[in-house]
Each structure stands twice: as C-alpha cells, then as structure tokens.
C-alpha cells in the first residue's frame, strides 16, 4: 500500500476517533471503537489492502481471519501485535467488530471519501407493500440464553460471599437489588444514596443509555450499607466515590470495574459456579421481577432500558417456572386438542 494512502488512512482514523470523543461517547466506547478500527487497519496493512477503498470482499476476508481463531494473541495496545484474535471469539464479538467497521465507513461516506459502505446492514421485519422483506447481515445473530443461577446455585454463591469483606458483600447486594450494570455499580457516589428512603440515584452519565433512574434497595442491603459506611470513614471522610480500595497499593482509591470483575470471578470459582459474572445479578434480578408478576414496561424502567425489546432478552424464566405455569393454565386445553391422537385404530 502506498505510504501516502496509508497516511491518509491513519488521518481518517484519528479524525473519526476524535469525533466520537467530541460527541460525548463514553470513554470505554471510544476505546473499543479505536481498538476495533485499528485492528482492522492492521489487517488491511498485512493483506496489502487500501483501507480507504476496501470492498465487501475485504470485510469477508477479515471475518474469515477472525473466525480462524488461532491460539495466542490478546488485547494489546499495538494493533499489529494483536492481529491474532482470541480463541474464544464469540458471535456477539464478531458483530461488534463489524459494527465498528461499518460506523467508520459511514463516516468516510459522510465526508465524501467514499460513495458506499462496504459493510451491508442487516434489516429484519421491514414491510414493503404486500410482502415481508428481510436482509441478512454478514454475521448471523445468535441469541443465546444468559446463565441465571437456580435457587440452590444462588444459595451456594451467597455462602461463598459471606467470607468476602463487607464492601464486596454490599456491592453484590446492590448489583442484585438494583439490577446494576458493572459500570453503574462501580461509579456510585455517596451523594447518590438516600438511606432514609432506601433509594439510589443512578446518574445518567454512568449508564449505558445515558438515562438516569432512581431505584430502591432492600433492608438487608441497607444494613450492609450502614456497616460499610463506618468502615469507609476509616479510609476517607470525603464525599465522592462510594466503594474505595483498602489495599496498601491503592489506599482509599475508587475501585475499578476490573477489580470488581476479579472479585466476582474468584467468588464464582470458590462457589463452584465459574459461570458467575458481574452481569449475573442483573439477569437474576430482572428475571425475579418477571417471576413475581411485574409488567414488562415496569421492568424496562427499573433496568434503564430505552426499548422493551432489550428487556425481553433479559427475561428468561426457568424451565421449572414454565412447566408450573403450563400445568396451571394450559395443560388441560392442550390435552383436549391432542386427545384424538391417542386413539388406537382397530
């Protein structure tokens, strides 16, 4: 690839990343966009392809490269060294990479540097006149059910949590009570709490959808909070981030989302439930709200979802719940409709 074209590609990448930052996108989102587009740019350099004039075949070759999944690689700051993807590249990760590339080429089209976007968009459910039209994207969507612990599994997890410091137990309680995302939990500040009413304000700037909300928490969590606040005063009396580190290395510093991920992973391994993740408590809470009869719109508002379709992805009642509901409401009807199938011919 000519040196001049390569320079132009780098300039456009920098311009796009700066635009995302100036538009107020979350730092984690901007960082993910930059990793994704630079990884694709490194692939184009490796394949001697002009990034600014890539075609659909280039995108297909990149997807093939990602799906090959050779061993090694990782998330490094250098895009060329990270060309080898993770051996566990999931469907959602592939679609995320593709989305980043599509958004970058949308930018090039808007800037007049290209006439078309080489990444086709998938369209579902469009109605045109008298027929139903569907256009598939390059990567099919796999809707996998999230893992939601059973009552026995949750009891085991809570047993493992009892050996954790009070801060970690409180974080686990808040994550479940309020269906908090990892970023929302770690970004909580002392001013977000209303202990008298047992309410938490989730500030808009800390949420994925940039929509704030106020959610309640239980009396058990309130008791944990009272104990933790006494411990926190020994670390710092200043208002600000709620959850502070007590390690000598990061004394009184706000704990990061990565620290919380490590805590949850260790807790899951100790409980014999390696599937436990920082999002598990959110899944369980929203599923429990559905089990006790909350309306889907109420659950969406509690979760901070802008679209109830997103909420539906979180609500997966267990097979036992479905069996019990079927037996209570539909079994007799289904038996009547299928009764004749049991008749034996003479």
- The full DSSP string for 16-70 is HHHHHHHTT--HHHHHHHHHHHHHHHHHHHHTT--GGG--HHHHHHHHHHHHH--
Q: What is the dihedral of CA 230, 232, 234, 237, to 10 degrees?
A: -100
Q: Tell me what pLDDT residue 334 has.
A: 63
Which residue has better confidence, 319 or 295? 295
Q: Which of 75, 99, 78 is nearest to 86 (CA)?
A: 75
Q: Across the strands, what pairs with 213?
A: 202
Lowest mean pLDDT among 103-112, 145-154, 264-273: 145-154
CA distance 61 to 55: 10
With a cut of 50, say whether residue 137 has pLDDT above it: yes
Task: State how far the alpha carbon of 71 is from the alpha carbons of 85, 87, 88, 94, in Å.
Answer: 8, 6, 10, 17
Write out the two tokens for 87.
Answer: 């051996």
With a cut of 90, say whether residue 307 has pLDDT above it: no
With a cut of 60, say whether residue 345 has pLDDT above it: no
Q: Tell me what pLDDT residue 78 has.
A: 44
Lowest mean pLDDT among 176-180, 209-213, 307-311: 307-311
CA distance 242 to 175: 14
| Whether 138 contacts 59, CB under 8 Å | yes
**What percent of the chain has a predicted confidence (pLDDT) above 90?**
51
Q: Tell me what pLDDT residue 130 has.
A: 42
CA distance 13 to 113: 13
Average pLDDT score over residue span 40-60: 91
Q: Give the residue carrying structure tokens 């989730």.
A: 202
Q: Tell me what pLDDT residue 326 has.
A: 61
- pLDDT tens digits for range 70-125: 544 444 344 444 444 445 567 778 888 999 999 999 999 999 999 999 988 765 44
With a cut of 50, say whether residue 36 has pLDDT above it: yes
CA 196 distance to own-chain centroid: 32
Collapsing DSSP states into helix, strand and coil, what is residue 272?
coil
Q: Tell me what pLDDT residue 67 has.
A: 80
Q: Which of 300, 332, 331, 334 is nearest to 315 (CA)?
A: 300
Q: Which of 144, 147, 151, 145 is nearest to 320 (CA)?
A: 151
Rounded mean pLDDT of the chain? 82
φ and ψ at residue 241, rounded to 5 degrees: -50, 135
Q: Which of 39, 23, 81 is nearest to 13 (CA)?
A: 39
Average pLDDT score over residue span 315-319: 54
Q: Tell me what pLDDT residue 126 has.
A: 41
Q: Across the strands, what pairs with 135?
A: 123
| Whether 121 contacts 137, CB under 8 Å | yes
With a cut of 90, say whether residue 229 has pLDDT above it: yes
- How would you class 112 by CB atoms within 10 Å of its CB: exposed for 0-12, middle for 13-18, buried for 19 or more? exposed
CA distance 243 to 346: 75
Lowest mean pLDDT among 14-23, 119-128, 273-282: 119-128
When pLDDT is cut at 50, 70 and 90, the band that residue 308 belongs to is confident
pTM above 0.75, yes or no: no
Task: Describe the strand order of the beta sheet including 193-194 as a list of residue ranges.
Answer: 193-194, 199-202, 213-216
Q: Tell me what pLDDT residue 142 has.
A: 58
Average pLDDT score over residue span 3-31: 83
Collapsing DSSP states into helix, strand and coil, what is residue 50?
coil
Q: Tell me what pLDDT residue 161 has.
A: 94
| Whether 13 contacts 104, CB under 8 Å | yes
Q: Tell me what pLDDT residue 134 has.
A: 44
Write out the two tokens for 321.
Answer: 């719940």
Q: Tell me what pLDDT residue 125 has.
A: 46
Average pLDDT score over residue span 58-74: 72
Q: Positive or negative, the Cα torsion across 78, 82, 88, 89?
A: positive
CA distance 141 to 345: 46
With a cut of 80, say whether residue 340 has pLDDT above it: no
Q: Tell me what pLDDT residue 337 has.
A: 65
Which residue has better confidence, 311 or 82? 311
CA distance 235 to 1: 56
């Amino acid at each position: 690839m000519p040196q001049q074209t390569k320079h132009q590609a780098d300039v456009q990448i920098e311009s796009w990343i700066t635009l995302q930052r100036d538009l107020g996108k979350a730092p984690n989102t901007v960082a993910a966009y930059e990793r994704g587009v630079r990884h694709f740019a490194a692939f184009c350099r490796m394949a001697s392809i002009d990034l600014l004039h890539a075609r659909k075949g280039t995108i297909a070759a990149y997807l093939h490269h990602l799906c090959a999944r050779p061993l090694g690689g990782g998330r490094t700051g250098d895009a060329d060294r990270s060309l080898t993807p993770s051996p566990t590249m999931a469907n959602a990760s592939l679609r995320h990479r593709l989305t980043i590339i599509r958004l970058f080429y949308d930018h090039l089209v808007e800037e007049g540097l290209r006439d078309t976007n080489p990444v086709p968009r998938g369209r579902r459910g469009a109605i045109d006149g008298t027929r139903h039209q569907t256009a598939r994207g390059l990567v099919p969507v796999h809707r996998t059910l999230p893992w939601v612990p059973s009552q026995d599994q949750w009891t085991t997890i809570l047993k493992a949590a009892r050996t954790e410091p009070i801060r970690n137990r409180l974080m686990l309680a808040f994550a479940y009570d309020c269906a908090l995302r990892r970023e929302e939990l770690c970004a909580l500040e002392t001013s977000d709490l209303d202990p008298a009413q047992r309410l938490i304000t989730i500030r808009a700037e800390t949420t994925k959808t940039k929509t704030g909300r106020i959610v309640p928490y239980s009396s058990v969590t309130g008791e944990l909070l009272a104990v933790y606040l006494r411990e926190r005063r020994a670390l710092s009396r200043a208002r600000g981030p709620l959850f502070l580190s007590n390690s000598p290395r990061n004394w009184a510093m706000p704990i990061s989302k990565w620290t919380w991920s490590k805590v949850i992973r260790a807790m899951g391994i100790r409980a014999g439930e390696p599937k436990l993740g920082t999002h598990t408590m959110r899944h369980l809470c929203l599923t429990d709200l559905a089990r006790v009869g909350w309306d889907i719109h109420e659950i969406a508002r509690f979760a901070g979802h802008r679209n109830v379709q997103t909420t539906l992805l979180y609500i997966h009642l267990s097979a036992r719940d479905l069996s019990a509901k079927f037996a209570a409401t539909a079994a007799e009807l289904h038996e009547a409709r299928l009764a004749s199938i049991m008749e034996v011919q003479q």
